[in-house]
Amino acid sequence: MQRSGTHNMRAAAVMQVTDEETGSAIIDPEKLSRIKELLCNVLKGSNKSRGAKTVVSHGVTHIERRLHQMMFADRDYERASNDELNEKQRPNVSVVNWHEKDYSVITIRSKDRAKLLFDTVCTLTDMEYVVFHANIDAEGPEAHQEYYIKHVDGSPVKSEAERQRIIQCLEAAIERRVSEGLKLELCTVDRIGLLSDVTRIFRENSLTVTRAEVATRAGKAVNTFYVSDSSGYPVDAKTIDSIRQAIGRTILKVTGSPEELKPASQESPTRFLFGGLFKSRSFVNFGLVKSYS
């Protein structure tokens, strides 16, 4: 299984791999070290201070949450001084202190989408904040979230720097899952080298992968890719037809029409490397939330 994504000129991926000979987890430390070395050679960039990092983990953290943690640790929430992204495209996040109750209140307004609540609450939890109460409104195309929080030490937000950091991290968490590009769905019998062959075909047709979800279920590869051309713009119909012919028309399905796509943001050179919000107005039983309401 694999998940990968790009945001703010950074890329991250979580992959679950097995030994080809044994079909089980790789335990040979020398082989693991060699894999890490090869991956670093592939992924390393020119920015030495924030180069590629690889870690072998035997933990059981949810894959999508782990992606959030990796991007957060890499400080993808820090925006460049020349970032020209339209403010209207960003989530609207505010943080104020409710002095009478000694809480901090976070309000978020953004476009509704699947897993929006998951992304928000995981980020707050990983930043070591406790949610005591929350209200959610997602009846229309826009979602409104409100959280009453304290730090794990029992204190509300203490400084302007902390407030700005919360805003930046929540904006990044919401933006990471926004899909840019054309959605391609692949389903076929799994085999060794399949993913390599598919991404090679994308690369040969000048496509970049902005996000991917790769899984194997009952011997079948079930993969989803979001792609755009190498300049960040929509893919033309001829390119899609060529790719489907190379991979297999019955294997690769296209979701959406290439002609209907709008130009995508040209923000991330790292793309060349990877070339259900609640409808209720409140919740108290979410697994990561402690409720006192």
Residues 204, 189 share a domain: yes
CATH number for the domain spanning 171: value is 3.30.70.260
- Nearest alpha-carbon partner for 10 in 227, 176, 174, 127: 176
Helices 116-126 and 63-73: angle between axes, nearest 10 degrees: 50
Q: Among 41-45, 90-94, 186-190, 285-289, which stretch is predicted with the lowest mean pLDDT?
A: 285-289
pLDDT of residue 2: 56
Between residues 81 and 235, the one the model is more confident about: 235
Question: What digits encode the pLDDT tens for the residues 5-51?
Answer: 566 656 777 777 777 777 778 888 888 888 888 777 776 655 554 56
pLDDT of residue 71: 75
Residues 192, 134 share a domain: no
pLDDT reading at 137 higher than 90: yes
Residues 215, 197 share a domain: yes
pLDDT of residue 135: 95
pLDDT of residue 138: 85
Average pLDDT over residues 235-264: 77
Residues 252, 199 share a domain: yes
pLDDT of residue 208: 84
Residue that finishes a domain, picked among 176, 210, 235 = 176
Residues 205, 169 share a domain: no
Domain membership flag for residue 93: yes
Residue that finishes a domain, picked among 159, 176, 193 = 176
Residues 187, 172 share a domain: no
Residues 201, 168 share a domain: no
Length of the chain: 293
Domain membership flag for residue 291: no
Domain membership flag for residue 66: no
pLDDT class of 276 with cuts at 50, 70, 90? very low
Domain membership flag for residue 77: no
User: What's the domain range around 100?
Assistant: 87-176
pLDDT of residue 40: 75
Residue that finishes a domain, picked among 146, 176, 206 = 176
Average pLDDT over residues 233-255: 88
Domain membership flag for residue 80: no
Domain membership flag for residue 67: no
Residues 163, 106 share a domain: yes
Residue the block writes with tokens 């309401």: 293
Residues 189, 136 share a domain: no
Are 147 and 124 within 8 A, CB to CB? Answer: yes
Between residues 286 and 180, the one the model is more confident about: 180
Domain membership flag for residue 209: yes
pLDDT of residue 95: 96
Q: Among 231-240, 250-259, 261-270, which stretch is predicted with the lowest mean pLDDT?
A: 261-270
pLDDT of residue 179: 60
pTM score of the predicted model: 0.60
Residues 217, 188 share a domain: yes
Average pLDDT over residues 101-111: 94
- Nearest alpha-carbon partner for 108 in 223, 70, 237, 119: 119
Between residues 154 and 58, the one the model is more confident about: 154
> What's the chain's average pLDDT?
77
Give the count of domains, the chain.
Answer: 2
Residues 209, 163 share a domain: no
Domain membership flag for residue 45: no
